[in-house]
Amino acid sequence: MSRITNFFGVLGLGCFFSVLLFFNGKYDSPSMHEMQPSAAFLEAEKNITTAVEKHDDFSSEIINKIIDKQRKIIGNDMKDYQYPNEEYSVSVRKLEDLVMEKNGTPIRSVIVTTWRSGSTFLGDILNAHPANYDHYEALLAFDIVQIRGPPLAEKALKWVKDLLNCEYQDLDEYIDYGRPHPWVFNHNTNLWKHCQAHKGVCYNHKFLSSMCKLFPFQSMKLVRLRLRIAQELLADEKLAVRIVLLVRDPRGILQSRKHRDWCPSSPDCSDPALTCADLVSDYKVAVELLKKYPTRFKVIRYEDLSLDPYKHVEELYKFYGLNLHPKTKTFLESHTKTNKGGVSSTFRNSATAPFHWRTELEFEEVEEIQQLCSTAMKYWGYVPASNATHQKEFNPVTNYTLKL
Ligand SMILES: *[C@@H]1O[C@H](CO)[C@@H](O)[C@H](O)[C@H]1NC(C)=O
Ligand SMILES: *[C@@H]1O[C@H](CO)[C@@H](O)[C@H](O)[C@H]1NC(C)=O
Ligand SMILES: *[C@@H]1O[C@H](CO)[C@@H](O)[C@H](O)[C@H]1NC(C)=O
């Protein structure tokens, strides 16, 4: 028991750096890479498209070579992983139990949230392990819309399930969208290195399916699919997916969205009434799901996560059926403590990151949101500001647990 396992070591390290970055204010603007293409991306994209026209056909021999190489890397990354056996809600004894090409079931973690709600931080924690395959935001191609029902829901769910099952053969539209929009793939660090080394290979569905089926951990975030629709993933017992609903104060969400040029033209993104109707709907579904799937569904508020990241990272490990190794725990504790003591101002700054709206928004704007969002705010434990002075000083978050 005294050895430090690779998994907990690396995941712990990943978390530590995430926490550290978090303290340094990187997460001031959650999900900053969500949508915006940079000039470099656009140029790289042009080059990839040109390359693809030359070699879209990859022989199975080349594909098998790349897959074999990745399989070895994963075997190595997982050498010291401590399998939880029957101790938690997952029963896993060896790597094969988690690997789809060996008929195993990977640990699948999905974040359901909306734009500008802090999902970058949470996503980085899930993607910290070297043997993780990150589907990132599966529904980028749907553009700036919320999917609340027909006609989009069915197609969206099919895409999400196909991806989580590593079945890319019906996903031509998803793959084609990824050609001019490389951020469909480039957040998936384990995949992207092959996309770069073999130009065009990531537009080959056989390659994508085989690659995906190697990985024992899979993560995805959904900012466009409301919980009422996403709950169907939990109903699929074979998928065995775990879902975290990430919630944020609508005043913080809307303030943060004001600065995104892709947002204002879409009411689903810019209209407080629609955003808060979604928060109300998510709440009602969340109450049901907590009863129905207590081990596979969980709710986190972005504000709570920011104020006490260590505690919530620990809870998240438990939720996924992963034990926080004692040595990793000591390591994390000592480092977060150093952080708190040594650079306490940084710590305080990061803890106020989700609350920038208090100084950035005019009271009139806050008042308008509060009027349209009173139900959502009451459900999720957010306190209204009374006036401009109050707004700058008060604590907008109640000590809150979801009432079942
Ligand atoms: C794209 O291709 C051009 C010409 O082959 C090259 O000079 C440039 O560096 C490439 N850009 C990227 C981002 O790969
Ligand atoms: C602002 O609201 C606070 C809290 O409700 C109250 O105590 C204070 O008197 C108000 N200030 C003004 C100027 O109305
Ligand atoms: C919040 O509530 C929990 C449980 O109800 C309690 O243990 C905790 O001390 C409370 N925290 C504060 C700051 O009031």
Instruction: Find the ligand nearest to 363 CA.
Output: 2
Ligand 1 contacts CB of residue 47 (under 6 A): yes
Which pLDDT score is estimated for 317?
77
Distance 399 CA to ligand 3 centre (A): 6
Which pLDDT score is estimated for 23?
34
Distance 45 CA to ligand 1 centre (A): 10
Instruction: Find the ligand nearest to 308 CA.
Output: 3
Distance 48 CA to ligand 1 centre (A): 9
Average pLDDT rounded to a whole number, residues 151-172: 98
Give the ligand 2 atom nearest the CA of 387.
1
Average pLDDT rounded to a whole number, residues 332-343: 44
Residue 217: name the closest of 74, 70, 79, 12 by CA: 74
Kindly report which listed range (105-109, 127-131, 253-257) carries the lowest average pLDDT score. 127-131
Overall pTM surpassing 0.85 (yes/no): no
- Residue 169 token pair: 């053969």
Kindly report which listed range (41-50, 175-184, 221-230) carries the lowest average pLDDT score. 41-50
Pocket mutation for ligand 2, best pick of 358, 386, 395 (most atoms within 8 Å of C-beta):
386
Distance 184 CA to ligand 1 centre (A): 20
Ligand 1 contacts CB of residue 43 (under 6 A): yes
Give the ligand 2 atom nearest the CA of 394.
4
- Burial of residue 101 (CB within 10 Å: 0-12, 13-18, 19+) is middle
Q: Say if residue 333's pLDDT is above 60.
A: no
Ligand 2 contacts CB of residue 311 (under 6 A): no
Which pLDDT score is estimated for 29?
36
Q: Say if residue 224's pLDDT is above 80.
A: yes
Distance 387 CA to ligand 2 centre (A): 6
Average pLDDT rounded to a whole number, residues 160-186: 96
Distance 390 CA to ligand 2 centre (A): 6
Which residue has the CA at smallest separation from atom 2 of ligand 1? Answer: 47
* CATH code for the structural domain at 84-95+114-119+143-149+218-404: 3.40.50
